[in-house]
Structure 1
């Protein structure tokens, strides 16, 4: 659950004295080996605010890879975990500005303001209102997004005449992360009922059962699954009544480039899914998790001239690796028995082995230990099922095109 911040903590952290205290605590190592002495030092100087100071510095360090200017922000533990990465929030703000130019946008679960910060930066959005029921998170948001219009309100009580509404229901129940639609707070049904007559975006965990959402709640909007640098980050439900003809499913694949820009590839269910099933070619491709989670593996294959090894398995094959994708060049096809694998890998001087599995009940870590590899060459073993038979592919270590 993390440290439970109070309004008094936030008032202190945003004061001149608190800012100086944060500067001093930031200079400390705060590692496992130094924590006892560091805590003692901070407590001696800043009690009773030592926990608020130390946790704020630790959260800022954790947030650096996720959020822009995290070194100046305030967080709670849960708020940081659920905060949308800056790259994803910025792309969404740009899409809202392009599709709804001049709109007033309301973030009705603004939390510590990570999404509001990207929305207010857009020139094509006329105004932004953020609201949250939690007074501590709202106080943090006022610090994180100075000058923003922020209100304390229940998400199911409209506080503005917004053109577009964004909501990010809490995804925890009893202290644990949840993927159950019924456990979201505020409730998904409540959000759809309250804001169903206007464009509504509901962010959720990527593991949400969107098929059940369509079947049980009658949701007929678009489900967008977004990944960033190989990690699936969220599902976004677009209940967009202002636009027509949106594809039911969309995968948004974001990849950071060395020059600091971000590459964007989007695949939708409106595209062709005419992908054949055929024996393996030169390469095996494991599609990005957003593509798999969105159910768009065949659409992705059709776009890039790939094919499936089995109609029920997400691995693809082809004669080339799509741009930006990671592929595995096939060296040999083998059985999945340990003896056959050990013989094949030893013959190729394998010492370091990455094991990828789909469709088989195999624990990669346990198998790797049993193989007792002693060579020097790094290889990848792709294990899957074709029809009713298990099969392995010994491949060169993954190469990104």
Structure 2
């Protein structure tokens, strides 16, 4: 949970004395081994607020590269953990055409990315004080997200994925505030709700469009868009972002005609956002690929898409441990990446049983085609990215 900041702590951290303390201690190691010496140093310059100073320095380091105000921002541990990575927040913000009311603004990570004139609210007075520091140009007020205090502007919400006891939860009814409560409170308003990509989207039938967003290969969030914020004719969208600035998107309105074929020269594992959004066939159709099995997300074809990690297939056949061991010995495999989908196989346990002794590195994909378990021995390769992948519009 981290250190529990008070309003007095925040006031001190924003004061000249607090800023001086943070500056003078910025180079502390802040490791387990240095804890006692770090505390002594902080007590010497900020005796009444040394814990708040040390926690702030630690959180600023963790925030580096994640939020635009990491260097001089104020955070709580929970708020930083839930804060949206800035490229994802900036992408989401581009879908708004004017000011937005962020009704769960917390310390301001999303608010900082929103269009000019946007404003925030939250129930936590400490986080609001931090948001005023982090996003000085935005108005923030204390208000309950379930009791609207604005009108005429779109609403953005990011419910806490912890229940009232502070335990992590995956049940939307236990979010703070709950998803259905937000939908009811802003019925008739344009609403966007950020939530975990693991949420069962069936619990939000009021969402007109569900967008899954990944950054650098990791699925970061789902966003539920309603009314005028949603794209007409689009129920699902996958958006793939890169720290390089390249991005692309695919939607349920795109063609999804792709065949099912035996393994070809290349195997492709689509980005997790595509898989989670249920757009594997759409992605295959765009890139001239086929499915190995209608229920499995692996794709195959003669040429992999640009900018992905693909697998050049060396051999494939029926999967069994005995035959797999023989295959790996024949290819002198000593380092093995094991990917599994559609089979009940523990890669770590299997790797121990294989007792590899070769000299080359390979990837084996274990999956099924129909009822048959199959293995594909492959070489992982990164395909050449486009100079600038273009995102398709809303």
Query: 1:272: how far off?
Result: 1.2
Q: For residues 110 and 220 of structure 1, what CA distance do their matches in structure 2 show?
A: 21
Mapped contact 2:146–2:177 kept (Cα < 8 A): yes
Q: More displaced, 239-248 or 48-57?
A: 239-248
**Greater CA drift, 281-290 or 43-52:** 43-52
Q: Are 2:191 and 2:229, in contact at CA under 8 Å, matched by a contact in 1? A: no
Equivalent residue of 1:320, what SS?
A: coil
Aligned pairs for 1:167-316 within 5 A: 167-173=157-163, 174-214=165-205, 219-241=206-228, 245-257=232-244, 262-316=245-299
Q: How far has the Cα of 1:143 moved from its partner?
A: 0.6
Aligned residue pairs: how many? 383
Shift of 1:32: 2.6
Root-mean-square deviation (Å) = 1.6
What's the secondary structure of 1:237's corresponding residue?
strand
Find 1:148's aligned residue among 117, 138, 145: 138
Distance in 1 (alpha carbons) for counterparts of 2:311 and 2:179: 41
For residues 32 and 113 of structure 1, the distance between their equivalents in structure 2, rounded to whole angstroms, comes to 29
2:106 is equivalent to residue 111 of structure 1: yes
Q: Distance in 1 between matches of 2:162 and 2:372?
A: 40
How far does the alpha carbon of each residue in 1:191-234 deviate from its partner, in whole angstroms, 9 at most, with x for none?
111212121101101111002322xxxx2410001000011111
Q: Which runs of 5+ in 2 are unaligned?
A: 385-394
Q: Equivalents in 1 of 2:80, 2:129: separation in Å?
A: 15
Q: 1:136 aligns with which of 111, 126, 143?
A: 126
CA distance in 2 between counterparts of 1:297 and 1:382 reads 18
Given that 2:208 and 2:227 are in contact with CA atoms closer than 8 Å, whether structure 1 keeps it comes out as yes
Distance in 2, matches of 1:220 and 1:28, equals 47
Structure 1's 252 and 283: CA in aligned 2 closer, same or farther, altered over 3 A?
Answer: same
Q: Does 1:32 align with 2:22?
A: no
Are positions 1:358 and 2:358 aligned together?
no
- Judged with a 3 Å threshold, the aligned counterparts in structure 2 of structure 1 residues 175 and 368 are, in CA distance, closer, same or farther, namely farther
Deviations 1:227-284 (A, max 9, x none): 0001111110001246662401011111222xxxx11111100111111111011111
Q: Secondary structure at the match of 1:256?
A: coil
So what's the TM-score if we normalise by structure 2? 0.93
Partners of 1:242 and 1:250 in 2: CA distance: 13
Checking the alignment, whether the CA contact within 8 Å between 2:14 and 2:133 is kept in structure 1 is yes
Q: 1:164 aligns with which of 154, 169, 190?
A: 154
Q: Secondary structure at the match of 1:191?
A: helix
Task: Tell me the CA shift for residue 70 of structure 1.
Answer: 0.8
1:317 match: 300
Deviation at 1:400, TM superposition (A): 3.5
User: CA deviation digits over 1:128-171, x for unaligned, max 9?
Assistant: 11100100100000110113111111111222224211011111
- How high is the TM-score relative to the length of structure 1? 0.92
Q: Is the 8 A contact 1:334 1:340 kept in 2?
A: no
Unaligned runs of at least 5 residues, structure 1: 98-102
1:393 alignment counterpart: 376
Q: Secondary structure at the match of 1:104?
A: coil
SS at match of 1:397: strand
> Could you tell me how far apart the structure 2 residues matched to 1:177 and 1:205 are?
12
* Superposed displacement of residue 182, structure 1: 0.9
Q: Quote the residue 1:100 is aligned against.
A: none
8 A Cα contact 2:214 2:220, kept in partner: yes
Q: Secondary structure at the match of 1:175?
A: coil
Q: Is the 8 A contact 1:196 1:239 kept in 2?
A: no
Q: Find runs of 4+ consecutive structure 1 residues off by over 4 angstroms.
A: none
Residue pair 2:307, 2:382 contacting (<8 A) in 1 also: no
In 1, Cα distance between the equivalents of 2:16 and 2:67?
Answer: 24
Separation in 2 of the partners of 1:185 and 1:392?
44
1:14-29 to structure 2, matched below 5 A, reads 14-29=14-29
Bigger Cα displacement from structure 2, 363-372 vs 133-142: 363-372
Alpha-carbon contact 2:196-2:220 (below 8 Å) kept:
yes
